[in-house]
RNA sequence: CGGGAUGUAGCGCAGCCCGGUAGCGCGCUUCGUUCGGGACGAAGAGGCCGGCGGUUCGAAUCCGCCCAUCCCGACCA
């Protein structure tokens, strides 16, 4: 490619709206161009990188025996209604009606589309496992796109699916897929951390995220100080401490003026926050709008993902002060003690207790009376929780379960996610196959996603310097960047440059040839910004020194290589 | 959806308080000089000052509403 003909140009300054480095450099280098919030065009340079990334995906998926296919972006509503996600995923799913007023949507992922195929295609255990993947545009109307390519509303994802006879079969296959993901990230020179994750809207039992640790990440992950445990914030379980061995004491009302927060109460009564219990309130988004009364030890924040899981995956919102008062609780001094669980009309008050609030005895809690708290509240004696679960949010510095290690908080970019889906999709859709004994069985599925653009951005986050991007060789837009410092196109240097460009292309390299009429400074700066690994400078000076000046983007040093030895030199040096 | 910020030429910004016919740098075009780390000179092109409404003799500037973009949070993968 001649630089003079390359569509898209470099910018001298960072676009004002770009805050994170990958967004700045990808835009400045002319890789991407924004169209609307969270919607980007991949310009020729960016698309070249994407294609190289996708080819790495192909290589790894094909090696596993996964077959590439292509499923549609446009889906009919029915298949999403069948799995329940038409209602459960909310406005992130882009919906519309076609001209016949049929409900349609733009797929945000493809479990439904694949399941629909399997409904008629899958009949026998002999077909299993089915391993397939595709790379397709996903559309998600995100509440808040951010960070350039980190979180967007339209993006290409490689998603693979596996269909198995039973759990044992997916358990055998799953590590191979995880290994393929490791290979992919290794090929992109990306350092990733594998963390236990919540499966979120995907459902299913088991899931692992691949995180790139970065300040620009939007996910919170905890890694134990001994490196033995890593989990994202939604999932992380931690040691809440050992409850003191105390006999339950007598309930005792105490006057606690102006003590609406846990900190104030603990301070006023001179007890640690771990000896208090607090209440948090939500309204379930179900037909009866049940009132969710959460009790949790005073020092712990609520993990709403864990809470949702404890309640069978329902959605909810924070309750208003009026709604709290309506069930008889007093905000700031609330307690589940003495509240009526039947709110009438089939509406329930559901008490969800974190295990901390149950295991720790004699906690200070609200009295449902302004300015008063109760000492020595005890779950199961003073009130009956409907659900007891771990619903606490881990924090930096929390202790790991079963070891002395400490949680350290990191920010991360989620670049890949593997899910064991169980029968989350196969069951509602009614997927069936006949086993060796002619018995009807429900298959077990897995799904494995990785975003192309997000991966590209994550690589830039990890591989850049003050001057620009430093692409790993495997995904660089070009292999070589030939910089000609010819004064005129037809002079000695110009002619040699043309010949060199042809020669390197014939040797099989992807070459960007800077034939522009620009000053050397401009060409070098653009070369650094675009970040192609190998830069070859051809100039009167280099020719006088015996050839072409070869420099790797990440090293300051240069080699002078005679033109006729260049190809051998590069084949030797390149990874 | 809540909080905050910003919208003026392709990009980065000033001008806005204090109303009076729109400016700087980069980039772009032409010519000349230059030529190893974002060169120099000369001459140019390019703007519905985000939109709508109001106040005013007069609005980029004051007021109201709306829209868009970014950041934090909610939410989400």
* pLDDT per position as a tens digit, A277-319: 999 888 888 778 889 999 999 999 888 888 888 888 787 888 8
Calculate the angstrom distance between C1' of B72 and CA of A11.
28
| Closest nucleotide to A142, Cα to C1' | B76
What are φ and ψ of residue A127, in 5° steps?
A: -80, -15
Instruction: Report, in ranges, which bases of strand B sit under 7 Å from a protein C-beta.
Output: 1, 6, 11-13, 25-27, 34-39, 68-77
A526-560 per-position pLDDT tens digit:
999 999 999 999 999 999 999 999 999 999 999 99
Is A218 in a helix, a strand, or coil? coil
Q: Could you tell me if residue A346 is left (phi over 0), alpha (psi between -120 and 50 degrees) or otherwise beta? A: left
Query: What does the alpha-carbon distance between residue A150 and residue A401 come to, in Å, rounded to a whole number?
Result: 32
Cβ neighbors of A473 (< 8 A, separation 6 or more) are A479, A533, A574, A575
Q: Is the pLDDT of residue A199 over 80?
A: no
Q: Is the pLDDT of residue A200 over 70?
A: no
Structure tokens at A426: 């196969």
Is A396 in a helix, a strand, or coil? coil
CATH code given to domain A252-389: 3.90.960.10
Calculate the angstrom distance between C1' of B71 and CA of A459.
23
Query: What does the alpha-carbon distance between residue A272 and residue A285 come to, in Å, rounded to a whole number?
Result: 35
Q: Which CATH number fits domain A478-573: 3.30.70.360, 3.50.50.60, 3.40.190.10, 3.40.50.800?
A: 3.40.50.800
Domain residue extents for chain A = 18-218+409-460, 252-389, 478-573
Percent of chain A with pLDDT strictly greater than 70: 98
pLDDT the model gives residue A402: 84
C-beta of residue A461 within 8 angstroms of C-beta of residue A212: yes
Residue A240 CB coordination number (10 Å) = 23
Calculate the angstrom distance between C1' of B63 and CA of A108.
44
A412-442 per-position pLDDT tens digit:
999 999 999 999 999 999 999 999 999 999 9
A475-516 per-position pLDDT tens digit:
999 999 999 999 998 999 999 999 999 999 999 999 999 999
Q: Is the pLDDT of residue A206 over 80?
A: no
| Closest nucleotide to A488, Cα to C1' | B35
Query: What does the alpha-carbon distance between residue A548 and residue A550 come to, in Å, rounded to a whole number?
Result: 6
Average pLDDT, chain A: 92
Answer yes or no: same fold for A252-389 and A478-573.
Answer: no
pLDDT the model gives residue A277: 93
> In CATH, which superfamily holds the domain spanning A18-218+409-460?
Bira Bifunctional Protein; Domain 2 (3.30.930.10)
Calculate the angstrom distance between C1' of B52 and CA of A39.
27
pLDDT the model gives residue A522: 97
Complex-level ipTM: 0.95
Residue spans of alpha helices (H) in A311-381: 321-326, 355-359
Which of A32-36, A136-140, A360-364, A399-403 is predicted least confidently? A399-403
What average pLDDT does this structure show over A446-469?
96
C-alpha dist (Å) from residue A145 to A43, A97, A151, A212: 20, 25, 5, 19
pLDDT the model gives residue A181: 96
What average pLDDT does this structure show over A68-92?
93
Query: What does the alpha-carbon distance between residue A472 and residue A49 come to, in Å, rounded to a whole number?
Result: 10
pLDDT the model gives residue A90: 85
Query: What does the alpha-carbon distance between residue A153 and residue A142 come to, in Å, rounded to a whole number?
Result: 6
pLDDT the model gives residue A454: 96
A344-400 per-position pLDDT tens digit:
888 889 999 999 999 999 999 999 988 999 999 999 999 999 999 999 988 888 998
| Closest nucleotide to A315, Cα to C1' | B75
Structure tokens at A182: 């490791």
Calculate the angstrom distance between C1' of B71 and CA of A23.
14
pLDDT the model gives residue A326: 86
Handedness of CA A520, A521, A526, A529 (dihedral sign): positive
C-alpha dist (Å) from residue A326 to A281, A312, A343, A349: 12, 25, 9, 11
């Amino acid at each position: 490619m001649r630089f003079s003909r390359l569509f898209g140009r470099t910018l001298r300054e960072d676009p004002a709206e770009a805050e994170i480095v990958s967004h700045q450099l990808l835009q400045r280098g002319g890789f991407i161009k924004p169209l609307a919030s969270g919607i980007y065009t991949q310009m020729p340079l960016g698309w070249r990188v994407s294609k190289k990334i996708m080819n790495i995906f192909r290589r790894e998926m094909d090696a596993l025996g996964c077959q590439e296919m292509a499923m549609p972006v446009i889906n009919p509503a029915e298949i999403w209604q069948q799995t329940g996600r038409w209602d459960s995923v909310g406005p992130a799913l882009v919906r519309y009606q076609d001209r016949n007023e049929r409900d349609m949507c733009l797929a945000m992922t493809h479990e439904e589309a694949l399941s629909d195929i399997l409904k008629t295609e899958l009949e026998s255990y002999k077909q299993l496992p089915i391993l397939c993947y595709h790379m397709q545009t996903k559309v998600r109307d995100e509440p808040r796109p951010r960070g350039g390519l980190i979180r967007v509303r339209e993006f290409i994802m490689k998603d693979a699916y596996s269909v198995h006879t039973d759990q044992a079969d997916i358990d055998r296959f799953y590590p191979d897929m995880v290994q393929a993901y490791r290979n992919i990230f290794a090929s992109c020179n990306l350092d990733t951390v594998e963390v236990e994750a919540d499966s979120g809207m995907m459902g299913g039992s088991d899931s692992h995220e691949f995180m790139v640790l970065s300040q620009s990440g939007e996910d919170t992950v905890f890694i134990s100080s001994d490196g033995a445990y890593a989990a994202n914030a939604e999932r992380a379980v931690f040691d809440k401490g050992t409850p003191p061995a105390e006999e339950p004491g007598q309930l005792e009302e105490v006057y606690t003026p102006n003590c609406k927060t846990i900190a104030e109460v603990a301070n006023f009564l001179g007890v640690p926050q771990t000896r208090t219990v607090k209440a948090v309130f939500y309204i379930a988004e179900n037909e009866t709008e049940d009132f969710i009364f959460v009790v949790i030890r005073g020092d712990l924040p609520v993990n709403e993902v864990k809470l949702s899981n404890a309640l069978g995956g329902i959605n909810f919102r924070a309750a208003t002060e009026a709604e709290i008062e309506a069930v008889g609780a007093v905000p700031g001094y609330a307690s589940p003690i003495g509240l009526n669980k039947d709110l009438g009309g089939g509406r329930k008050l559901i008490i969800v207790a974190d295990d901390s609030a149950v295991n720790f005895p004699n906690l200070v809690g609200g009295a449902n009376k302004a300015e008063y708290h109760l000492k020595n509240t005890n779950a199961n004696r003073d009130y009956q929780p409907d659900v007891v679960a771990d619903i606490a949010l881990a924090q930096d510095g929390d202790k790991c379960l079963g070891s002395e290690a400490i949680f350290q908080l990191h920010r991360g970019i989620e670049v890949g996610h593997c899910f064991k889906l169980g029968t989350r999709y196969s069951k509602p859709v009614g997927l069936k196959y006949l086993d060796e004994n002619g018995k009807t069985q429900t298959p077990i599925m897995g799904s494995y996603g990785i975003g192309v653009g997000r991966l590209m951005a994550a690589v830039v986050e990890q591989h850049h310097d003050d001057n620009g991007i430093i692409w790993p060789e495997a995904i660089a837009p070009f292999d070589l960047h030939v910089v000609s410092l010819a004064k005129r196109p037809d002079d000695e240097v110009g002619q040699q440059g043309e010949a060199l460009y042809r020669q390197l292309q014939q040797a099989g390299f992807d070459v960007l040839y800077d034939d522009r009429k620009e000053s050397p400074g401009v060409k070098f700066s653009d070369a650094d910004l675009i970040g192609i690994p190998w830069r070859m400078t051809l100039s009167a000076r280099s020719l006088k020194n015996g050839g072409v000046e070869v420099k790797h983007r990440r090293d300051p040093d240069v080699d002078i290589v005679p033109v006729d030895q260049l190809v051998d030199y590069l084949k030797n040096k390149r990874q």
